[in-house]
Amino acid sequence: MKIIMLGAPGAGKGTQAKKIAEKYQIPHVSTGDIFRSNIKEGTELGMKAKGYIDQGGLVPDELTIGMLMDRIQKEDCKNGYVLDGFPRTIPQAESLTNALLERGQKIDSAINVDVPDENIIKRMSGRRACLSCGATYHIVHNPSKNEGICDVCGEKLVLRDDDKPETVKKRLTVYHDQTKPLIDYYKKAGVLTSVDGTQDMNLVFNDITAVLGV
């Protein structure tokens, strides 16, 4: 069961990816985690990636694909995996398809968590984070017990720059330009399913499992 999660930033695909991984006992594979582990372990690909990251640049696709393919060949991925955060562009998707084909493999399912832009802007601008301990809240869906104060450590909660409406709008523009075309790419490949991401997260998960099978 090789799954790709698609959806705009803030659509909730990361949350669903974790729930899928837990239910089906397959790894939740995110590119961020792969970068961090390769850099920490000092692998050749990790050191090359670090050079780009340290200079504020983007890690080239071939390096990312190299690290990703190393990761999904590990023993814990033998029954499948959930990819979260990759691919982000058509060239990345094509590179992944070709790399898998060389090993006689393919993506089984691409799940698009569909949420309109206006919902995402509202959802993300309601997020609050504790910069001290990393706990996260939402002023509507998951508020702290005392408004503006972290339940865990008592520090002040903040609206991160990433979650401010103007930043979210910019991220959504990038998503529509670069990442949304992946929906058509995987639709043509016959593996795409879209689910309504505006529902309660458990209902979204029920829709996903109905597609993947129990």
pLDDT tens per residue, range 97-134 = 999 999 999 999 999 999 999 999 998 999 999 999 98
What are the phi and psi torsion angles at 10 (to 5°)?
A: 90, 0
**Which tokens hold the place of 57?**
């640049």
Catalytic-labelled residue, pool 18, 171, 180, 187: 171
Catalytic-labelled residue, pool 88, 122, 180, 187: 88
| DSSP β-ladder status, 109-114 and 192-196 | parallel
- Across the chain, mean pLDDT equals 92
Q: Stretch 71-85: mean pLDDT, rounded?
A: 93
Provide the phi-psi class of 131: left if phi over 0, else alpha when psi is between -120 and 50, else beta: alpha
pLDDT at 162 over 90: no
Catalytic-labelled residue, pool 18, 160, 180, 187: 160
Whether 160 is catalytic: yes
**Which tokens hold the place of 172?**
């959504």
What are the phi and psi torsion angles at 129 (to 5°)?
A: -130, 150
Q: Stretch 32-57: mean pLDDT, rounded?
A: 87
Which of these ranges, 58-62, 107-111, 154-158, has the smallest mean pLDDT? 58-62
Whether 123 is catalytic: no
Using CB atoms within 10 A of its CB, is residue 46 exposed (0-12), middle (13-18) or buried (19+)? buried
Distance between CA atoms of 108 and 104, rounded to whole angstroms?
13
| DSSP β-ladder status, 127-130 and 109-114 | unpaired
pLDDT of residue 141: 83
Catalytic-labelled residue, pool 2, 48, 71, 127: 127
What are the phi and psi torsion angles at 110 (to 5°)?
A: -115, 115
Which pTM value belongs to this model?
Answer: 0.84
Q: Which amino acid is at 110?
A: A
Distance between CA atoms of 70 and 74, rounded to whole angstroms?
7
Catalytic-labelled residue, pool 2, 13, 19, 48: 13
Domain 2-26+79-116+173-212, CATH class in plain words: alpha beta
Which of these ranges, 17-26, 34-43, 88-97, has the smallest mean pLDDT? 34-43
Whether 103 is catalytic: no
